Amino acid sequence: MINQFIEKIPKAELHIHIEGTLEPELMLILAERNQVKLTFDSVEAVRQAYQFDGLQSFLDLYYLGSQVLLKEQDFYDLTWAYLEKAAEQNIRHTEIFFDLQTHTERGISFEVVSSGIIQALREGQKKLGISSRLILCFLRHLSPESAMEILKQAIPYRDQIIAIGLDSSEKDHPPSKFQEVFQVARNLGFLTVAHAGEEGPPEYIWQAINLLKVNRIDHGVRCLEDRELVQYLKEKQIPLTVCPLSNVKLKVFPSLKQHNLKKLLDLGLCVTINSDDPAYFGGYLQENFIETQSALNLNLQEIYQLAKNSFLASFLDHQEKQDRIQELDQFMEQFREKS
């Protein structure tokens, strides 16, 4: 019963890397279409490689997989495949990260990457009724100068890109490295988010808040190591985009039963559930909800709260948020009448 409830409840996804939705089947199709040589010759061989001992071992494979993406059509196909999956799972709104430097470093233009993704997002709104926003992430293992260069290229896309994010290898790459480029981004009118406290210490979450002035923290699960930080996140209701299956796959927690998501919710933080890189971590948003509910014994009210938080924490405008939450509340009423 609760699984059906999870499947049907309207929800938003706020932490999804479009390159992380590349399923092995599409990876192999694109490798052949674009004549890119991969070391894998079957879907099973690709899946076999998905054993990670931490963030870096995943990123190595993830950047390798992204090399099959060359043309605008490839970015369109990738994004469209995700949107179809999202529609099946009653995802009503999605905010998608894309990593431009992964592609520009291979000689693929900003234009090719963005146009393919943006075109699919438009179709997603028209044909599937899924609203969306786009977030450009800087790779933190690269230099702030490289990030600034990408930011300049993003200026003509100001209307299509809502926010700037920060991802890739967290250890030894503190948010402080990107203070200036984030300041320029904010002055240009971009909102900001950053991965922090996934593998890195609570200090990186403080830096993301105080130096990058982020609107949300991506992951943030290590905040529990700092009581003052938890208090601050609660008071300001700074949203955390938590990714439970990702955290287990990347050994942030030994198992879902040991995940701190329920504790974060109980403490009154604005927590959301997300899939991060679903093709690599064994589940899309619905599977993240279902497996987390089962491991932590979440009740209907908690599932509702997580779905409501996903809209509240989104970058939809005020009226759109109200409309989505009204739709959610109507769903709840109908569900209660039936059961």
Active centre residues (catalytic): 198
Q: Is residue 202 part of the contact set for ligand ADE (CB under 6 A)?
A: no
What is the number of the residue whose Cβ is closest to ligand ADE? Answer: 167
Q: How far is the CB of 339 from Zn ion (least distance, A)?
A: 35
- Binding residue per annotation — 15? yes
Element (H, E) at 96: strand 91-99
Contact between 217 and 202 (Cβ < 8 Å): no
Among 117, 198, 270, 310, binds ligand ADE (CB under 6 A): 198
The alpha carbon dihedral of 305, 137, 63, 133 has a sign of positive
User: CA–CA separation, 331 vs 316, rounded Å?
Assistant: 20
User: What whole-number distance in Å separates Cα of residue 195 and Cα of residue 188?
Assistant: 21
Strands (E), 85-226: 91-99, 131-139, 163-167, 191-196, 216-219
- The CB-of-194 to ligand ADE minimum distance in angstroms stands at 10
- Residues in binding contact with Zn ion, number by CB under 5 A: 1
Q: Which is nearer to ligand ADE, 195 or 308 (CB)?
A: 195
Does residue 55 interact with ligand ADE by CB under 6 A?
A: yes
Choose which of 13, 77, 276, 302 interacts with ligand ADE (CB under 6 A): 276
Q: Which is nearer to Zn ion, 27 or 221 (CB)?
A: 221
- Closest among 187, 293, 291, 218 to 248, alpha carbons compared: 291
From CA 322, how far away is CA 79, in angstroms rounded?
27
Per rule CB under 6 A, is residue 167 in the interface with ligand ADE?
A: yes
Q: According to CB under 5 A, which one of 95, 170, 276, 302 is a site residue for Zn ion? A: 276
- Residue 27 phi, psi (nearest 5): -55, -45
Phi, psi of 294 (to 5 degrees): -65, -45
Least distance (Å) from Zn ion to the CB of residue 231? 25
How far apart are alpha carbons 177 and 241 in whole angstroms?
Answer: 22
List 21, 277, 292, 298, residue binding ligand ADE (CB under 6 A): 277
Nearest-approach distance from CB 17 to ligand ADE, in angstroms: 4
| Contact positions vs ligand ADE (CB under 6 A) | 17, 20, 55, 62, 167-168, 195, 198, 246, 276-277
List contacts with Zn ion (CB under 5 A).
Answer: 276
